């Protein structure tokens, strides 16, 4: 399984290392590689600050209908 992490800070970097150690293929995006990371991942994790989340999701492109990759679900705000 290829896990894509949108955001390579402390949280994203730590999770990436843990998942790599567990044998998963992990891609961590930079600001320049968000669309490529999102397109190639089987699973996506948004690990960006909440102030940047909307911009990161917008930069990822059309992730709701990723061909054969299944849905991408995200939620903002309080329930």
Place 73 in a pLDDT band, splitting at 50, 70 and 90. low
Q: Where are the domains of the chain?
A: 2-60
pTM over cut 0.75: yes
The answer to whether residue 77 scores a pLDDT higher than 90 is no
The answer to whether residue 41 scores a pLDDT higher than 60 is yes
pLDDT in tens, 20-31: 999 999 999 999
Contacts 24+ apart (CB under 8 A), 37-40: 37/4, 37/5, 37/6, 38/4, 38/6, 38/63, 38/66, 39/66, 40/2, 40/4
């Amino acid at each position: 399984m290829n896990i894509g992490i949108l955001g390579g800070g402390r949280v994203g970097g730590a999770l990436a290392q843990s998942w790599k150690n567990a044998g998963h293929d992990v891609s961590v995006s930079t600001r320049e590689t968000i669309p490529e990371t999102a397109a190639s991942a089987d699973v996506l994790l948004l690990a960006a600050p909440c102030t940047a989340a909307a911009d990161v999701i917008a930069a990822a492109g059309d992730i709701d209908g990723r061909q054969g990759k299944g849905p991408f679900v995200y939620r903002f705000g309080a329930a």
